[in-house]
Amino acid sequence: MSAEEDKPGWTSLAMGAVLVTPGSAVRNKTGTWRLKRPILDPKKCTNCLICWIYCPEPAIVRGAETVEFNYDYCKGCGICAVECPLKAVSMTEET
């Protein structure tokens, strides 16, 4: 078993659980919560990082030419799509 497989997911937490350990958000991947996922159109993205600034989770990674999404932590809130001035981010149904 790898170190990633040893980490608990949100489904293994008790209902109403309180996470008091520092860094628990990093250990508990929350990407399985989402119903929609952001998709980037790299032709439209100018790497202005507005989506990165507004993202409430560590789900957007700064890249050299465009941003990338870390789907392990993306909850599908869609703030990135709303805030992108060039509409380079769209939300699609999770499959």
Residue 5: its pLDDT value, please?
Answer: 61
Asked whether the predicted pLDDT for residue 43 surpasses 90, the reply is yes
pLDDT at 25: 65
- pLDDT at res. 95: 81
pLDDT above 80: residue 1 = no
Type of residue at 58: P
The per-residue pLDDT for 30 is 81
What is the SS3 assignment for 53?
helix
Answer yes or no: CATH 3.30.70.20 is held by domain 3-93: yes
Average of per-residue pLDDT across 13-29: 67
Q: Which of 51, 43, 84 is nearest to 69 (CA)?
A: 51
Residue 24: CB atoms within 10 A of its CB come to 13
Q: Which residues contact 56 (CB under 8 A, 6 or more apart)?
A: 77, 79
Q: Compute how many other C-beta atoms are within 10 angstroms of the C-beta atom of residue 6.
A: 8
The backbone region for 78, taken as left when phi is positive above 0, alpha when psi lies in -120 to 50, beta otherwise, is left
Q: What ranges do the domains of the chain cover?
A: 3-93
